[in-house]
């Protein structure tokens, strides 16, 4: 057979994916980080499970990922349990199902744990296609001790539960990594200062993007750091230094003391100024400030507003 006739033959079709659940990591900011293996699995999978099917569709079009079979199914925190029987049935029929989150590695702080566990318990193959991960990217690049580390996901919404979680990990000697939103960042770092003491921290934002930024500081000097950042932030808090200061709240994780309130006074003044600028009646402003600054009641803040007005 001549070279010309050989070149005219169609390329052989890729073999089907082995049946199972594929956990596929997708870019956290830079589309070039999608691995060839991830692209291949997303192209050939029988179905795609996505946290947000609309965003997934935009992602596939942006990266020119074409699929022979349609099939996007939502899988999020509110429907994961109900979706499991359907996925198990698909796997029993010999299909390959890929799970993606909005960005990064699925299951880690995203839905999918219960599904992966159910697949394992039912004897089906579960494969991870590794790739981008915000916690690992932040930890590697921020300059704080990388091992051991503990990933906490998003901290609990209530102050008491967040305090308990941080207190449980305060003495482990591990670097702590967690996610936080802009509107809760100042209050969360103040809470961490009260429980963990004066430790190094890094705010890692826009990871892998053009405007990637690492803001370094110490929990004991929060007023020196620029906390006015956009978007979701990956926070890294270093381990307690040997011979370092006791946590502001004391070793038993008690409520903030008068000394702590004094230490956080500059931060409180900043938050009050921001919330007053947003407008509203004094008591409404006081409620918003109390949500952002731990350790002070609405009444205390309201009285302070009266003195500052």
DSSP string across 45-94: -SEEEESSHHHHHHHHHHTT---SS--EEE--TTTHHHHHHHHHHHHHTT
| Predicted confidence (pLDDT) at residue 230 exceeds the cutoff of 50 | yes
The pLDDT, as a whole number, for residue 224 is: 86
The pLDDT, as a whole number, for residue 97 is: 96
Residue 110 DSSP label: S
Domain at 135-263, CATH homologous superfamily: Tetrapyrrole methylase, C-terminal domain (3.30.950.10)
Q: Which helix (H) or strand (E) holds 218?
A: strand 213-218
Band (270; pLDDT cuts 50, 70, 90): confident
How far is residue 240 CA from its own chain's centroid?
23
Residue with tokens 């219960």: 114
Query: What is d(CA 104, CA 162) in angstroms, rounded to the nearest whole number?
Result: 24
> Which is more confident, 89 or 7?
89
Lowest mean pLDDT among 6-10, 38-42, 120-124: 6-10
| Predicted confidence (pLDDT) at residue 307 exceeds the cutoff of 70 | no
Band (98; pLDDT cuts 50, 70, 90): very high
The pLDDT, as a whole number, for residue 254 is: 47
Band (135; pLDDT cuts 50, 70, 90): very high
Query: What is d(CA 105, CA 24) in angstroms, rounded to the nearest whole number?
Result: 7
The pLDDT, as a whole number, for residue 294 is: 59
CB of 134 closer than 8 Å to CB of 208: no
Query: What is d(CA 68, CA 220) in angstroms, rounded to the nearest whole number?
Result: 56
Is the CATH number of domain 15-132 3.30.360.10?
no
The pLDDT, as a whole number, for residue 14 is: 61
Radius of gyration (Cα) for the chain, nearest Å?
Answer: 24
| Predicted confidence (pLDDT) at residue 246 exceeds the cutoff of 80 | no
Question: What pLDDT, in 10s, does the model give residues 142-186?
Answer: 999 999 999 999 999 888 899 999 999 988 889 999 999 988 899
Q: What is the mean pLDDT of residues 122-130?
A: 97
What does the CA dihedral 40, 46, 52, 53 come to, rounded to 10 degrees?
100
């Amino acid at each position: 057979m001549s070279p010309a006739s050989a070149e005219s033959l169609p390329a052989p079709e890729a073999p089907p994916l082995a049946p199972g659940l594929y956990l596929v990591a997708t870019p956290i900011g830079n589309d070039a980080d999608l691995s060839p293996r991830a692209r291949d699995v997303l192209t050939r999978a029988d179905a795609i499970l996505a946290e947000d099917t609309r965003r997934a569709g935009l992602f596939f079009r942006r990266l020119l990922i074409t699929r022979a079979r349609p099939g996007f199914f939502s899988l999020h925190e509110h429907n994961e349990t109900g979706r499991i029987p359907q996925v198990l049935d698909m796997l029993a029929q010999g299909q390959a199902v890929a799970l993606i989150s909005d960005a990064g590695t699925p299951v880690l702080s995203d839905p999918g744990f219960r599904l992966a566990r159910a697949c394992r318990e039912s004897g089906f193959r579960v494969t991870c296609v590794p790739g981008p991960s915000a916690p690992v990217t932040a930890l590697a690049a921020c300059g704080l001790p990388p091992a051991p580390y503990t990933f906490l996901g998003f901290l609990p919404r209530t102050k008491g539960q967040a305090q308990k979680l941080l207190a449980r990990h305060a003495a482990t000697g591990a670097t702590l990594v967690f996610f936080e939103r802009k509107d809760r960042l100042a209050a969360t770092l103040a809470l961490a200062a009260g429980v963990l003491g004066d430790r190094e921290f890094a705010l890692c934002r826009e990871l892998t993007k053009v405007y990637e930024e690492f803001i370094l500081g110490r929990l004991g000097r929060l007023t020196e750091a620029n906390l006015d950042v956009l978007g979701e932030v990956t926070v890294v808090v270093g381990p307690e230094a040997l011979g370092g200061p006791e946590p502001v709240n004391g070793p038993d994780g008690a409520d903030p003391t008068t000394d702590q309130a004094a230490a956080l006074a500059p931060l409180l003044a900043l938050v009050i100024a921001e919330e007053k600028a947003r407008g509203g009646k004094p008591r409404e402003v006081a409620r918003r400030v109390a949500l952002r600054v731990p350790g002070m009641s609405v009444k205390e803040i309201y009285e302070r507003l009266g003195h500052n007005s």
